[in-house]
Amino acid sequence: MPRWLTFLLWFVPILTLLGVAHVYLYRRLIRDLTAHRGLRRGAQVLLVSGFVGAAGFRSFGVWFPSESMRLVGIGLLTWMGLVMYMFFCTLAVEVAQRVASRVWRGPVPPSEPPASLPPSPERRAVLTGGLAVGAGIAGLGLSGFGAWRAFHPPDVRDTPVRLPRLPRALDGFSLVQLTDIHVGDVLQRHFVDELVARTNALMPDVIVLTGDLVDGPVSRLGPYVAGFGALAARHGVFFVTGNHDYYSGATSWVAFLERLGITVLRNRAVSIGDTGASFSLAGVDDWSAFRMGEPGYDLDAALREVSPDRASVLLAHQPSNFDEVARRGVGLQISGHTHGGQMFPGNLVAGAVWGSRNAGLSRTGDSQLYVSRGCGFVGPPMRVGAPPEIARLILMPG
pLDDT value for 121: 57
Q: How far is CA 306 from CA 27, 302, 315, 322, 336, in A?
A: 61, 8, 13, 17, 23
3.40.190.10, 3.30.530.20, 3.60.21.10, 3.40.50.850: CATH of 157-397: 3.60.21.10
Mean pLDDT of 265-280: 96
Output the pLDDT for position 112. 52
In this structure, are residues 162 and 173 in contact, taking their beta carbons and an 8 Å threshold?
Answer: no
* pLDDT tens per residue across span 148-179: 999 998 999 999 999 999 999 999 999 999 99
The continuous run of DSSP H or E covering 349 comes out as: helix 346-354
Mean pLDDT of 12-20: 87
Amino acid, single-letter form, for residue 366: D
Domain ranges of the chain: 3-104+119-149, 157-397
CA dihedral 9, 298, 233, 331 (to 10 degrees): 100
Note whether 85 and 23 are within 8 A (CB).
no
User: Given its phi and psi angles, is residue 390 left (phi above 0), alpha (psi -120 to 50 degrees) or beta?
Assistant: beta
pLDDT attached to residue 188: 93
Q: pLDDT grade, residue 117 (50/70/90)?
A: very low
361-396 residue pLDDT tens: 999 999 999 999 999 999 899 999 999 999 999 999
336's CB contacts (< 8 A; 6+ apart) are 177, 179, 180, 210, 211, 212, 242, 317, 318, 371, 372, 373, 374
The per-residue pLDDT for 382 is 95
280: left (phi over 0), alpha (psi -120 to 50) or beta: beta
pLDDT 10s digits, 58-86: 555 555 566 777 788 888 889 999 999 99
Please provide the average confidence, as pLDDT, over all residues in the chain: 89
User: How far, in Å, CA of 68 to CA of 398, rounded?
Assistant: 54
pLDDT at 261: 97
Confidence (pLDDT) at 6: 58
> In the predicted model, is pLDDT for residue 3 greater than 60?
no
Q: What pLDDT, on a 0 to 100 scale, did the predictor assign at position 246?
A: 95
The mean pLDDT value for 21-47 works out to: 90
- Peptide linkage before 345 cis (omega within 30 of 0): yes
Find out whether 367 and 332 touch, Cβ atoms under 8 Å: yes
* pTM for the full predicted model: 0.88
pLDDT > 80? residue 201: yes
Tens-digit pLDDT profile for residues 118-129 = 555 565 566 666
Least confident range of 131-145, 189-203, 251-265: 131-145
Residue 325 has pLDDT above 90, yes or no: yes
Q: Is the pLDDT of residue 134 over 80?
A: yes
